[in-house]
Amino acid sequence: MTMYAKDDIRSTLAAAPQAPPRDVDPSTPVKPSQWLAFHDLAPSEVSASGGRTWIARAANLVVVYSEARAGDVLTRTGQPDEYAVLLYSESAPLRITAEGATAGSGTAEVAEEAFVVVPPGDSSVEVLADGPVIRLFSTLDEELAASALNAAAYDEPDLRAAPLEPWPDPVGGFALRVYRLADTPIAEGRFGRIFRTTNLMVNFLAEEPAPRDEHRLSPHFHDDFEQISFGVKGTFVHHIRYPWGPDSAAWREDEHREIGTPSICIIPPPTVHTTQGVGVHQQLLDIFSPPRADFSASGWVLNADDYPAP
């Protein structure tokens, strides 16, 4: 369900074909939201050079955020599936190498905003100057998922969230792929800049040079998937309203909480939610796993030719 204004491009999503909702018992508990402001938490790892890394997870996704130092090398050995590297305007420049025996090999230097897909197998991300590095993995690597700062939140799985079922393999097979955002600027009639892989979807929303109009918010809900809202610049208020189930003792109050950046808010289904930028300048990245069928059907996915829908 959506409550978008008529001039919000997402109001057209109602016409998009979607899979029928999963049959979930109304008494199934709704997970609480999660708020992780990385600078308020002890890092998961600290490199020899002093680079700091925080690891957090969602139902199907692991977010690895690093404030890396030049010379740090972030490696993966025997990675079971592909993963993504996100670069925004303040990200560190990177040299990314994929050399797994089971996937297309290659090396790419990326020093601008980009969505990078790294194939399964062995790979490395060499940091060429100090700065943030964002990597996204599926929970297929159970050891990585278990290392998350909030791993305990998923000791009991979210029965309302659809499990991860990978989408079709990319055209031409798995390979190192770099999608530079400069090649696909924000455009009228398209919502943000959306990319997908076999196991996740990311929307690079535009940088906003002013607070969001409090009279033009966009409350909506998702039947069966989480939204991970990653604030990379500015300050946000995430507004979340929980549904009422049969057990009144399980009802929760609405949330209207402010959080700085870098941070993630994990928004569980089927809560009504909207996010309001309240800083003087902000940017948000929205992340989903598995990829969203409605966004895919809209024609907004910029690398759909490489990553077919089911």
In this predicted model, what pLDDT tens digit does every residue of 94-110 receive, in sequence order?
999 998 666 678 999 99
Tell me the whole-structure pTM to 2 decimals. Answer: 0.93
Please state, in angstroms and rounded to a whole number, the distance separating the CA atoms of residues 153 and 306.
Answer: 34
Please answer whether residues 111 and 172 qualify as being in contact, where contact means their C-beta atoms are separated by less than 8 angstroms.
no
C-alpha pair distances (Å), 144 with each of 17, 86, 136: 35, 18, 11
Residue 252 is predicted with a pLDDT of: 95
Average pLDDT score over the chain: 92
Name the nearest CA neighbour of 279 among 255, 260, 257, 266.
Answer: 260
Average pLDDT over residues 105-116: 96
Instruction: Sketch the domain layout of the chain as residue ranges.
Output: 9-182+190-297
Query: 304 φ, ψ to 5°?
Result: -65, -25
Of the candidates 243, 289, 248, 282, the one whose C-alpha atom is nearest the C-alpha of residue 266 is 289
Half-sphere exposure of 43 (CA within 13 A, CB side): 13
CA atoms within 13 A on the CB side of 281: 3
In the predicted model, is pLDDT for residue 126 greater than 60?
yes
How far apart (Å, rounded) are the C-alpha atoms in residues 193 and 187?
A: 9
Residues whose CB falls within 8 Å of the CB of residue 201, separated by 6 or more in sequence, listed in order: 194, 195, 287, 288, 289, 290, 291, 292, 295, 296, 301
Whether the per-residue pLDDT at 55 is higher than 60: the answer is yes
Condensed to tens digits (0 to 9), the pLDDT of residues 156-174 reads: 999 999 999 999 999 999 9
In the prediction, which pLDDT does 7 show? Answer: 54
Instruction: Tell me yes or no: is domain 9-182+190-297 CATH 2.60.40.10.
Output: no
Q: Give the HSE-up count for residue 233: Cα atoms under 13 Å, Cβ half-sphere.
A: 17
More confident residue, 3 or 230: 230
Q: Which two tokens stand for residue 225?
A: 């998937």
Q: How far is CA 7 from CA 12, 188, 227, in A?
A: 9, 12, 23
